[in-house]
Structure 1
Amino acid sequence: MMNHKFLYLTFASVLFFSVSAVNIQSKVTNNPADQLVKILNDNRTAHHSTALHSNPGLACIALQYIKAYEGNCDEVGGTKAKKPEDSAFAKTFAPNCNVEPASLAQITGRFLGCQSEYFKPDRAFSEVLMKDEKSLKILYSKNHTEVGAAVSGSGGGGPYFWCVLFSNGKSNSSFVLEDGVAKVSRPGCFSGANDDCSSAEDRFHGYHLWKYVVGVLALTGYFFGV
């Protein structure tokens, strides 16, 4: 009987460490906002438009733009659609990002989408942000010179907001960070922050890891009479 218990314990240990290793691998640097910027620029260059400068100051502003909705997905599109006041950029968004208000440049376009579930960046781009012909005109516009993207959930889960802001500012003088470093805030990820920002998928994997651990502990306790 002890041999059987030993075998089950060995199996449980192997399962635990294997699942742990998989979870560790899933936490490699993964910023969905950076991935979205790459997708946007890849589509622009494929359409013979210039790639845009990824501006972390503008991207942080995009995250603040999301937060202004306070998790209300119904206010993003449809008849109830709204957008933050223009004054919020200088009064709230810029200070929250350590962006010098005097360096704010014109916003030449925006994408904003909201879904109850998390989408990978490529799917968010094609199914959430690229809604119609107007979206394509914004994407390929020659007025843009820089871009900033952000993604954030609400309350540790859905709904999930995606925001892209475009500007015609100069990369060295627009959306300038006061200390030269992007001010990271949670929840949410924004492009250009040099931040190891996990996506919702990592939290999903973490949830399943916890279920495996509980199962392993229960199995061990059963065979050893704990």
Structure 2
Amino acid sequence: MVKQEIIWFTLTSLLLLFSSSAVETQSKVTKNPADQLVQVINNNRTAHHLTALYSNPGLACIALQYIKAYEGNCDDVGGPKAKKPEDSAFAESFAPNCNVDPATLTQITGRFLGCQSEYINPDRAFSEVLMKDGKSLNILYSKNHTEVGAAASGSDGGGPYFWCVLFSNGKSNSSFVLEGGEAKVSRPGCFSGANDDCSSAQGRFQSQYHLVNCVLGVLAVIGFAFSI
């Protein structure tokens, strides 16, 4: 009788632990980090009495395609081996991959690109990865920009982690126009203005790690119950 009560208590605990893990997993889903990065950028601009920039989802989706063109090669970003996608890629592949009408592509007036091995919060990515020197500040505070698009992506859900911001001088209702009104959402990666929650790979790993610990703990209790 005692053993049955222990087993019943253990099974109940198992259900509760799985439920709490599911809740915690949901709590790990944060607001889109690319949206947060745009907010940091606009906060810095308005603090310097400059206008906030329109968050253009078409431009942001193209920023994500810009990241994907590096194919996870962090060494190609910055330094003597620095590379960048061909300008022709914007019309030939980036726009079609995002459902952006190529005829509405507008001049890119500035860009930030950074890469690091570990995921960090958008505010740190802004200050520690993207703001490298005086040239970066000149881009940030340029009066030529009217809109912005940001993207963040790991490689297959893990590091290295890329951050990309593209600026443009287009008009919000006529540049980087999405055919059908929606951008193609592709994973891994997040882009601003997509009305899409997107958790970091670090958050997913922590949730999975917690779930595994819960399962192992319950199995240990079950083993103890049957050994009585």
Q: TM-score range by the shorter chain?
A: over 0.9
* Contact 1:37/1:54 (8 A) holds in 2: yes
Aligned to 1:79, what secondary structure does the other structure show? coil
Shift of 1:30: 1.7
What residue number does 2:39 align with?
A: 38
Partner of 1:137: 138
Is the CA contact (8 Å cut-off) linking 2:67 and 2:153 kept in structure 1? yes
Moved more, 192-201 or 106-115: 192-201
Partner of 1:223: 224
Q: Is the CA contact (8 Å cut-off) linking 2:7 and 2:225 kept in structure 1?
A: no
5+ unaligned residues in a row in structure 1: which ranges? Answer: none
1:24 corresponding residue in structure 2: 26
How many Å separate the matches in 1 of 2:223 and 2:124?
Answer: 44
The structural deviation recorded for 1:4 is 8.2
Q: Whole-Å Cα distance in 2 between the matches of residues 18 and 69 of structure 1?
A: 38
Q: Distance in 2 between matches of 1:72 and 1:206?
A: 27
Letter in 2 for 1:22: E
Find the counterpart in structure 1 of residue 71 from structure 2: 70
SS at match of 2:152: strand
Report deviation, 1:6: 5.5
User: Match of 2:55?
Assistant: 54
Question: 1:1-226 residue pairs with structure 2 within 5 A?
Answer: 2=3, 5=6, 9=10, 14-27=16-29, 30-225=31-226
CA deviation after TM superposition for structure 1 residue 205, in Å = 2.4
CA–CA distance in structure 2, aligned partners of residues 20 and 187 of structure 1: 22
Query: How far 1:215 sits from its partner (Å)?
Result: 1.6
Q: CA deviation at 1:216?
A: 2.9
Mean alpha-carbon deviation: is it higher for 48-57 or for 203-212? 203-212
Gaps of 5+ in 2: none
Asked if the contact 2:115–2:162 (Cα under 8 Å) also holds between the matched residues in 1, the reply is yes
TM-score by length of 1: 0.92
CA distance in 1, matches of 2:7, 2:182: 53
Matched residue of 2:80: which SS? helix
Amino acid at match of 2:48: H
1:8 Cα deviation (Å)? 6.6
Provide closer, same or farther for how the CA distance between residues 98 and 11 of structure 1 changes in structure 2, counting only shifts above 3 A.
closer
Give TM-score, length-normalised by structure 2: 0.91
Q: Is the 8 A contact 1:12 1:219 kept in 2?
A: no
2:25 touches 2:204 (CA, 8 Å); kept in 1?
no
Is the 8 Å Cα contact of residues 12 and 216 (structure 1) preserved in structure 2? Answer: no
Identity level (%)? 70
